[in-house]
Amino acid sequence: PGNCWAFKGHQGQAVIRFPARVYLSAITVQHITKDASPSGTISSAPKDIAVFVSLLGTSDGALALPGDKEETLLGMFSYNVEKDPMQTFPLKNMLLPRAFSQVKLLVKSNWGNPCYTCIYRVKVHGK
């Protein structure tokens, strides 16, 4: 506890840039358990999450900028605080069978904390 990426409120986003282009297959999100939380609650855990890739810059290897409008949704899922703290969700890259240089994780809501949302770990899977 305390070593998380926190952002104000219940919504936020992070863009993860890769050192090489990746054919994406899944994303893993991790939060602490209720037992590990000093307050005994994990209302700051993310709940509804969307994953996007930018279609700009995919052909020449250039990085697209966060906020580019040419984005494609690879998946929407809900992190469940009643399940394992590390949860893996498959992405729909088969609709776009190509490699990407970055991915955007958009947290749309959390489990009720009005002040902040925390993410402890994000893993991106692919080739």
DSSP state letters, 72-107: EEEEEEE--TTS-SEEEEE--GGGS-S-EEEEEEEE
Q: Report helix, strand or coil for 21.
A: strand
Tell me the per-residue pLDDT of 35-86, one tens digit each, with 9 for 90 and over.
Answer: 998 888 899 999 999 999 987 655 444 444 555 568 889 999 999 999 999 9
Inter-CA distances, 55 with 24, 62, 70, 112, Å: 14, 11, 5, 33
* CA 79/CA 23 separation, integer angstroms: 23
CATH 2.60.120.260 fits 5-59+68-126, yes or no: yes
pLDDT, position 43: 95
pLDDT, position 54: 82
Tell me the per-residue pLDDT of 113-127, one tens digit each, with 9 for 90 and over.
Answer: 999 999 999 999 999
pLDDT, position 63: 47
Q: H helices of 1-127, where?
A: none
Task: Sketch the domain layout of the chain as residue ranges.
Answer: 5-59+68-126
pLDDT, position 60: 44
Q: Which two tokens stand for residue 98?
A: 């190509």
Tell me the per-residue pLDDT of 87-109, one tens digit each, with 9 for 90 and over.
Answer: 999 998 666 678 999 999 999 99
* CA 25/CA 124 separation, integer angstroms: 8
pLDDT, position 79: 98
> DSSP letter at 50?
E
Query: Taking the C-alpha atoms of 96, 98, 101 and 106 in order, what is their torsion angle to the nearest 10 degrees?
Result: 20
* CA 56/CA 68 separation, integer angstroms: 8
